[in-house]
A and B are shown apart, each in its own frame.
Chain A
Amino acid sequence: MQKITKEQLIERASALLRDGTVNHVLGWAQGEFDYDITPAVFSDESSLTGNFVWNDFCGANFSKYLVSKCRTLEGKILVFLKPCDTYSFNQLLTEHRFDREKVYAIGIPCEGMADIDKVKAICGDGISSIDCSGEKLSVTSIYEDSPISVNTADVLTERCVNCKSKKHVAYDELLGDEGDILDSARFDEVAKIEAMTPDERFAFWQNELSRCIRCNACRDVCPACTCEVCVFNNPKSGVENKAPANSFEEKMFHIIRAFHVAGRCTDCGECSRVCPQNIPLHLLNRKFIKEMNECYGEYQAGETVGSKSPLTDYTLEDLEPGEVFDRGDINA
């Protein structure tokens, strides 16, 4: 259950539309079921009342949409941001990817988002509705006479189980508390992979990445991937490829992408959320974050606007390449 209600969000958005503060609202639109929610632009009160939704399935991070919407929409855009979304918002501002003046950001508290695949693992197929208003999810199925009660904690997405922060680091207005940075166990899984032998580690990633179908959903949803034309799509780049030529290239795409977003990835987890093949792509990014934290001191991309990632910021205290080499020895 979310602390703030859909009605409160609609009321606030409507008021801001009415008084002319904003002209558009970037929000979540109701789907066919209660969990298939689509990001949408609302430009009048009636569409908000009819379609706007806020529940435990509003996982989409809107920050990246601001890059295109600030260019195509006239006037000011209200965007609702969950705490983790605000980090992407700041990082995009650091990279000058959208016009801050065109945006009115409202921070909303988030109690964690549910993973429909986890819900289905418990309730099976045939879900006709999910009521998110109570302490537990109440799932109605065409195969059951009465609703199934599901503990929210049992169906949280991985990124929410390991939530790094409930703190809003960017907003014009807050509905609820500013929130706090949390102690999370988000690097535990990375540590497990580090503890593997090189062969085990290779086998682990081989198994995961061999499922990749190169749909590019991870890249296209990623707020750190905002190149106008990605090298992998650009016939002039010389490395354009729509399908991996072999099992090495499969890994190459993801490894190159992970390197490309290193230092800029806020660990928002969108890549793993959207992967149709359930590949834990966030682990690649977290490895880089963990590595940077250990080598250069704690750094959280997007915590402030204008901060420099350790990879683009030289200091005299930086690790020498030899020391990094020695660390590699330990990991081998």
Chain B
Amino acid sequence: MRKCSLDSLNSVFAKIAEAMALYLPVDGSDGRAVFSKWEDGSVLSNALNTVRSPKDFFFPQSEDLMRFKTEGKNIEIIDIRPESEDFAVFGVRACDVKSFDILDRVFLTEPCDSYYASRREHGVIISLACTRPSETCFCQAFGIDPSTPAGDISCFKTDNEMYWQANTEKGEALLKAIESLTEECTDEAVNEQKEKIRAIMKKLPLASLTTNSFGGGKTTELFDRPEWAELSEACLGCGTCTFVCPTCQCYDIKDFNTGNGVIRYRCWDSCMYSEFTRMAHGNNRISQKERFRQRFMHKLVYYPENNDGLFSCVGCGRCLSRCPISMNIVKVMKKLGGESK
């Protein structure tokens, strides 16, 4: 483990930025934290987390996939993706780091999504342990320990120091690059901080939330539960929960006629939208209740069923803060029996 003083953090960031683009949470003009590219003078936000999740770096909201050019009877397919360059994302919280495991299983299994894979390959994730979790946090229900985040490098911020621990080869290489600006140290202070955070986690209002009632094999038990009607009653059908979610990964692929060719692009889609997965026979989820149910069944039942019991929620709490009607996965879980008494 290595450390640097918080006073010298800016020069460490500068050093990393010499080698690759560095993104970190800074306070935006509206006061909310947003991942921004580091430049001299960037100040690391004190906010617990960003409104948008770091999934954006690997799975952007919209991206051009390819271009088609027609000449006579020939169609030329042009790969228009830009060359991927190395980049680092600093300040990723434990919940969001976990979200990459969930996205990887979707995008990196065959057929592998080469757009996503290329970014994963070039991206270095530098996580940051939480010191002041929010009442909306429930990562522990999914077995995540916010005091000990994973990632290529794990960072721990104390009152005066930033501690750096490499977990992967990529992480080792990056720590090597900033070696002159950091010093070798023991993990005493970090361990002390971890204990404090774990004690706080026990005091959080959502500490008793459990996943016991959910998981693979629960489809028939949960699908027709009458509570879905009440839970979805006020849902506006907007896409806020899905778009701020670090694990939602549904997308749509569309062709855009440029006048002299076609650009094929993909963009995030939301199961909350009325035209989601619309097929030739029409729509297979005709009411908001069915769309709403799909989102939560996917996270709590279908995904774990297909992925060795891994839930596709990390308890980051973004949907709790941002849903216009304050309906969210915690309320769904509690209503359907997800609280330990």
Contacts and interface: CB of A to CB of B under 8 A. Distances in A.
B50 to A, nearest CB: 11
Contacts of B234: 38-40, 65
A142 B200 contact: yes
A233 B273 contact: yes
A324 interface: no
Interface string A170-209: 0000000000000000000000000000000000000100
Contact of A221 (B32, B268, B278, B324): B324
Contacts of A219: 238
Contacts of B331: 31-32, 38
A274 B132 contact: no
Interface string A209-240: 00101111101110000000100011100001
B234 to A, nearest CB: 4
A5 B278 CA distance: 46
Contacts of B135: 33, 125-128, 142
Interface residues on B, range: 35 or more
A215 B278 contact: no
A143 B28 CA distance: 25
A7 interface: no
B236 A217 contact: yes
Contacts of B320: 32, 36
Contact of A38 (B133, B252, B270, B327): B327
A47 B80 CA distance: 57
A243 B132 CA distance: 34
Contacts of B51: 276-278
A40 B234 CA distance: 6
A235 B269 CA distance: 14
Contacts, number: 123
A306 interface: no
B243 A215 contact: yes
Contacts of B34: 211
Interface string B161-196: 000000000000000000000000000000000000
Contact of B62 (A143, A211, A244): A244
B133 to A, nearest CB: 7
A50 to B, nearest CB: 13
Nearest to A116: B321
A213 B52 contact: yes
Interface string A30-50: 011100111111000000000
Contact of B240 (A60, A215, A233): A215
Contacts of A229: 274
Contacts of B8: none
A35 B327 CA distance: 12
A278 B273 contact: no
A278 B30 contact: yes
A148 to B, nearest CB: 14
A214 B205 CA distance: 31
A37 B134 contact: no
B239 interface: yes
Contacts of A213: 52, 61, 239, 243-244
Majority SS of interface residues in chain A? loop
A124 interface: yes
B259 to A, nearest CB: 13
Given A124-B132, A213-B61, A278-B32, A32 B238 contact: no
Contact of B324 (A33, A121, A233, A274): A274
Nearest to B287: A72
Interface in A228-278: 229, 233-235, 240, 242-245, 273-274, 276-278
B265 interface: yes
A217 B239 CA distance: 7
A220 B235 CA distance: 10
A77 B196 CA distance: 51
B277 to A, nearest CB: 13
A143 B199 CA distance: 12
A38 B273 CA distance: 20
A31 B239 contact: no
Interface string B264-287: 010111100111001000000000
Interface string B303-339: 0000000000000000010101111101100100000
A207 B29 contact: yes
B134 A60 contact: no
Given A31-B331, A278-B32, A245 B238 contact: no
Contacts of B243: 213-215, 276
Contacts of B273: 216, 233, 242
B204 interface: yes
Contacts of B242: 215
Interface in B219-264: 230, 233-234, 236-240, 242-244, 252, 254, 256
Given A125-B134, A277-B51, A39 B269 contact: no
Interface string A45-78: 0000000000000001000010000000000000
B275 A233 contact: yes
Tell which of A211, A219, A220, A235 has the most Cβ of chain B within 10 Å: A220
Nearest to A64: B236
8 contacts: A33-B205, A36-B328, A125-B136, A142-B135, A211-B30, A214-B239, A242-B268, A276-B51
Given A215-B243, A235-B278, A242-B270, 19 more contacts: A38-B234, A40-B233, A121-B31, A126-B135, A127-B135, A128-B135, A142-B135, A142-B204, A211-B30, A213-B243, A220-B236, A220-B237, A233-B275, A242-B268, A273-B324, A274-B324, A276-B240, A276-B243, A276-B244
